[in-house]
Structure 1
Amino acid sequence: MSKLGTLTIGQAPRPDIVPILDAYLDDSLMRVHAGVLDGLTPAEIEARFAPVREQPKLVSRLLDGTSVVLDRASTEAAAQDKLDTLEAQGCTTILLLCTGHFERLKTQTARLLEPDRFLPAAVAALTRGAKLGIIVPIPAQIESEAVKWSGLDSPPIYAAASPYRDDLNAVGEAAVDLRQRGADILLMDCMGFVERHRSAARVAGVPTILSNSLMAKIVSEIV
């Protein structure tokens, strides 16, 4: 029997992302939600996952709705343990709820779906011949996550705006900035961006791709 596991690098469940998945997945599909930071206090998170200067960083959401910046290498190591647990719980497919680039995550028999391995190819096909503008949560990710977009027809342009702050104006401003700099299509490169962020970006007057919506549609085809 099919069983879907989702793994956020923050804390589960994700009330921002789960409704988007629910819109495309069959109600009968069994699901288990897990998070790398589940059960940890802010002090424990700081001790184990504090960002390291000059090293790649990730951003995610805690249960109380606040955001946290994490060291990518430490997060990847802990994520592998969580993947092993989800697989032991009988998950046949596991969706990583993060668009960040990971190098060594693996499963034994479950199908592992990493957005970083799906989105670049899909987005490259959707934006062929167009200039892509990418919105990331924090400026530090502009450089660290750039490697995954090397397959685009032309280098993308970037702006930063966090999906975890109650500031939709910042998202709209980032979208307009990218449009003014030549972007024909926008991509929200974080699973934390949801429909209200896409709505805010419409002020730029160009199509906007929502990463979690695109991944939900892809997952619905194979579970």
Structure 2
Amino acid sequence: MNKFKLTIFAFIVGMCSFIIVFPYISDLINNYRTLKNPEVVTIKSGEYIVGDDIQQGIYDVEVISGKVKFMQRELSAKDRVLGVNLHNGEHVQIKGQGKVKLSPANFESIEMSKSGQYEIHHSGFYEIGLQLPEGEYVLSYKGKTDKEKPFVQILSSNNRNVLHTYDFHNKDIYKIPLKKGNILEINKFLFFESDDIVINLKPLY
């Protein structure tokens, strides 16, 4: 086979491979775009399937009226849970009398307070390197409760596997490492939200 025929053969093989692979690449690109920029949707009491009733994606969740139980967490008007990742096929259940708005996650960076620490006011998932600088921190919380205590986890960036868990039933202060790409999961409480609790992260320089 001379060089010309070899070139034509390689071109045909390449085109065939591209035609076969292109739909999968296109799906991956579309899924990524949807994940990063899903549509805003307002929902109420009921059960919803991600991919059918709701686009998959990462959402900021806000109760705009009433009281609801959103995925087992009790929320009232103006309560927010940030950076919630909803996957295709997942069931989202809402109970109660109220409305919930799902908006594309804003990934807003957290500014350092005048006291020299980062204060987190909403439960949710925060990306290190994007919303908080990487580094070592003293993790604590401010506020009182007779019911529960905050629960914090560090998750891996790709599949959100649990890397570290911090339970404030055991200690009041933890020293934690946060690496770029990690996800910091904040639960002021596991089953309800409270404005009385603030999670504090003080950098260790």
TM-score, normalisation: structure 1: 0.27
Q: Which has the larger radius of gyration?
A: 2
Q: Which structure features the higher share of strand residues?
A: 2
TM-score, normalisation: structure 2: 0.28
